[in-house]
């Protein structure tokens, strides 16, 4: 039984891939960040593979920066199938990007992932663990978080406090939090009931869910890699090679 069946989730997922990836320059001057390769395989293909393994049949991917390039690449995917939603004008940020695609996602809770996220599972795949932990009676959002001390390449102050029952609280200014958000989550469409128009961050909706005690987090039990700069990519590749991973075969020339 896959993660979708266990968690009674939507068989569609949202992948956020519209951003400029400015901190990743100069690598993103010629490619959108989700198409950057880790051990020769694009980041977005690695996460789409994981979604397919979890039982997701269709991924909705928002696009903006170098949209033609990204959409052309995604058109080659067959499992899961991919539908794109291009954002004209300017990117709609994380919250606006999901809200703009809700009509493609349906009425059931769904996985939502950043298009540049990379992680390694432990014994049970992270998406399956999230699906098993999801409780629609108590939750509007369930975030996969990781200990900041375990995150490869991460040096920030953290994002969330998580209590023994799994309820999450966003870090306040001047606080240091023990958990960082991985960019992997389950969201219920009702979270967007009072969402603003246009561009906005999912953080606004996390605040609403937190206020109603419906924001939860699950600590990741594998490895998560912080990929924000070219140096982070180099560190991640070196770490993976040290662990015994190998480069994917070089793509054939066109």
CATH code of the domain containing 100: 3.90.550.10
For residue 254, pLDDT beyond 60:
no
Domain count of the fold of the chain:
1
- Is 188 part of a structural domain of the chain? yes
- pLDDT (tens digit per residue) in 131-151: 999 999 999 999 999 999 999
- Is 1 part of a structural domain of the chain? no
pLDDT score recorded for residue 9: 76
- Is 248 part of a structural domain of the chain? no
> How remote is the C-alpha of 20 from its chain's centroid?
16
The rounded distance, in Å, linking the Cα atoms of 94 and 113 is 10
For residue 120, pLDDT beyond 70:
yes
- pLDDT (tens digit per residue) in 8-39: 777 899 999 999 999 999 999 999 999 999 99
- pLDDT (tens digit per residue) in 152-208: 999 899 989 999 999 999 998 889 999 999 999 999 999 999 999 999 999 999 999
Provide the domain limits for residue 204: 7-242
- Is 138 part of a structural domain of the chain? yes
- Is 251 part of a structural domain of the chain? no
pLDDT score recorded for residue 88: 85
Output the DSSP codes for 175-238.
---SEEEEEEEEE-GGGGTTPPSSS--HHHHHHHHHHTT-EEEEE-SSEEE---SHHHHHHHHH
Do 172 and 245 contact (CB within 8 A), yes or no?
no
- pLDDT (tens digit per residue) in 65-86: 999 999 999 999 888 999 999 9
- Is 250 part of a structural domain of the chain? no
pLDDT confidence band for 3 (50 / 70 / 90):
confident
- Is 252 part of a structural domain of the chain? no
* Entry pTM: 0.93
- Is 92 part of a structural domain of the chain? yes
């Amino acid at each position: 039984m896959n993660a979708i069946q266990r968690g009674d989730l939507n068989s569609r997922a949202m992948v956020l891939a519209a951003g400029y990836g400015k901190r990743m320059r100069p690598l993103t001057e010629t490619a959108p960040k989700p198409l950057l390769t880790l051990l020769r395989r694009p980041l977005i293909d690695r996460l789409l593979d994981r979604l397919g393994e979890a039982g997701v049949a269709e991924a909705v991917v928002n696009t903006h920066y170098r949209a033609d390039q990204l959409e052309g690449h995604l058109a080659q995917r067959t499992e899961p199938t991919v539908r794109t939603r291009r954002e004209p004008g300017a990117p709609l940020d994380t919250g606006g990007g999901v809200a703009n695609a809700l009509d493609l996602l349906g009425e059931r809770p769904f996985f939502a992932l950043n298009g540049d996220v990379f992680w390694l599972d432990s014994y049970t795949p992270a998406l399956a663990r999230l699906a098993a932990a999801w409780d629609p009676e108590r939750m509007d959002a369930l975030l996969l978080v990781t200990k900041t001390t375990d995150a490869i390449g991460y040096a920030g102050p953290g994002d969330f406090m998580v209590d023994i029952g799994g309820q999450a609280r966003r870090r306040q200014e001047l606080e240091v939090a023990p958990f960082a958000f991985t960019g992997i989550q389950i969201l219920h469409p009702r979270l967007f009931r009072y969402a603003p128009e246009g561009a906005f961050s999912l953080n606004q909706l996390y605040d609403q869910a937190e206020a109603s005690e419906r924001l939860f987090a699950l600590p990741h039990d594998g490895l998560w890699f912080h990929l924000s700069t070219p140096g982070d990519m180099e560190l991640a590749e070196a770490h993976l090679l040290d662990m015994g991973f190998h480069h994917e075969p070089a793509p054939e020339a066109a």
